[in-house]
Amino acid sequence: MVQPGTESVWLWIGTALMALGALAFIGMGWREDDPERQAFFIVTIFIPVIAALSYFSMAMGFGLVELAVPWQEAALDIYWARYADWLFTTPLLLLDLALLAGANRNTIGTLIGLDVGMIVTGFIATIITTSQAMRITWWGISSAFFLVLLYVLVSRLSAQAATQPGDVGDLFGTLRNLTILLWTAYPIVWLIGTEGLALVPLYWETAAFMVLDVTAKVGFGFLLLRSRGTLEASRVETPEAATTTTD
Ligand SMILES: *C/C=C(C)/C=C/C=C(C)/C=C/C1=C(C)CCCC1(C)C
């Protein structure tokens, strides 16, 4: 097993912040007895729980491998545990947005399918060692999934959210924009980091992913779960929106 380098400081900070976020969400949802609002708590609590475990494993050096590559002397240090984390947490984040928008099953399925496609092809980009061009090609395939995903977020999911009462639509808009902004940074960090063109060292790449992960999961969760009244309103309209949206 490879020992993590100085970047492990960011992994420990990430572990602590994800664990604190999970505990805070559990505390906020402890006395929640409304089943529809409970759904948001259940989905949102699992996100930092999974991420905390992934960060802990990476900090311990478990989620880290060294890949020998033909185009440079030094091996690539790859934290593969990230992709196991993202495979579960990114669909859960999308499920939160979809529940808020009152999306129907087809829209939820489309979003999650695109998302899994993005993470799996991104993982292939990360572990393939034939050539750097091949890695960038898979990065491009993953980014194509991502662009279609963004399109569904701003078109169909936003149209469904627009049928929700005012507050719900506003909260959806805020969380959707936060998601678009933060998620767009991931392929950029990958490309300039050690997985891609290695313009940024592993230390700073790890810091960048940690800040993005904490904001996209814990920050996102706080904005969502503190709006209890809004989650309540989302319940009333959800069955309606699901049956009347026929685009
Ligand atoms: C909590 C974790 C989140 C929100 C992770 C999001 C990750 C992405 C949006 C990753 C996207 C990538 C591409 C679009 C291209 C290939 C490399 C990836 C996997 C970093």
Annotate 211-241 with DSSP letters as a single string. Answer: HHHHIIIIIHHHHHHT-HHHHHHHHHHHHHH
User: What's the CA-to-centroid distance between 217 and ligand 1, angstroms?
Assistant: 13
Nearest to 78 by CA among 242, 194, 203, 214: 194
In a domain, 194, yes or no: yes
In CATH, what number is assigned to the domain containing residue 220? 1.20.1070.10
In a domain, 3, yes or no: no
Ligand 1 contact, 190 CB (< 6 A): yes
Work out which ligand 1 atom sits closest to the CA atom of 51: 1
pLDDT of residue 193: 95
Give percent above pLDDT 70 in the chain. 94
In a domain, 2, yes or no: no
In a domain, 1, yes or no: no
pLDDT of residue 18: 98
Helix residue ranges, H only, 33-131:
35-59, 81-101, 105-127
Range 220-223, long-range pairs (CB < 8 A, 24+ positions): 220/93, 220/96, 220/175, 220/178, 220/179, 221/21, 221/25, 221/44, 221/47, 221/48, 222/21, 222/24, 223/171, 223/174, 223/175, 223/178
Q: 237 or 142: whose pLDDT is higher? A: 142
For residue 27, pLDDT over 90 is answered with yes
Q: Give me the domain span that covers residue 107.
A: 8-241
pLDDT of residue 241: 45
CA distance 152 to 203: 34
User: What's the CA-to-centroid distance between 118 and ligand 1, angstroms?
Assistant: 7
Q: Residues for the chain: how many in total?
A: 247
Residue carrying structure tokens 């049928």: 163
User: What's the CA-to-centroid distance between 187 and ligand 1, angstroms?
Assistant: 6
Confidence of residue 60 (pLDDT cuts 50, 70, 90): very high
Ligand 1 contact, 187 CB (< 6 A): yes
Confidence of residue 1 (pLDDT cuts 50, 70, 90): low
In a domain, 233, yes or no: yes
Ligand 1 contact, 213 CB (< 6 A): yes
Confidence of residue 240 (pLDDT cuts 50, 70, 90): very low
pLDDT of residue 72: 87
Instruction: Name the average pLDDT for the chain.
Output: 92
In a domain, 13, yes or no: yes
- Overall pTM > 0.85: yes
Work out which ligand 1 atom sits closest to the CA atom of 213: 1
In a domain, 246, yes or no: no
User: What's the CA-to-centroid distance between 10 and ligand 1, angstroms?
Assistant: 18
CB of 96 closer than 8 Å to CB of 44: yes
Counting the structural domains of the chain, the total is: 1
CA distance 143 to 149: 10
Confidence of residue 235 (pLDDT cuts 50, 70, 90): low
Q: 70 or 15: whose pLDDT is higher? A: 15
Lowest-pLDDT choice from 1-10, 23-32, 82-91, 120-129: 1-10
Ligand 1 contact, 149 CB (< 6 A): no
Protein residue whose Cα sits closest to atom 20 of ligand 1: 187
In a domain, 247, yes or no: no
CB of 50 closer than 8 Å to CB of 90: no
Best mutation site among 58, 82, 148, 186 for ligand 1, i.e. most ligand atoms within 8 A of its Cβ?
186
What mean pLDDT do residues 183-203 have?
95
Residue carrying structure tokens 């529809």: 36
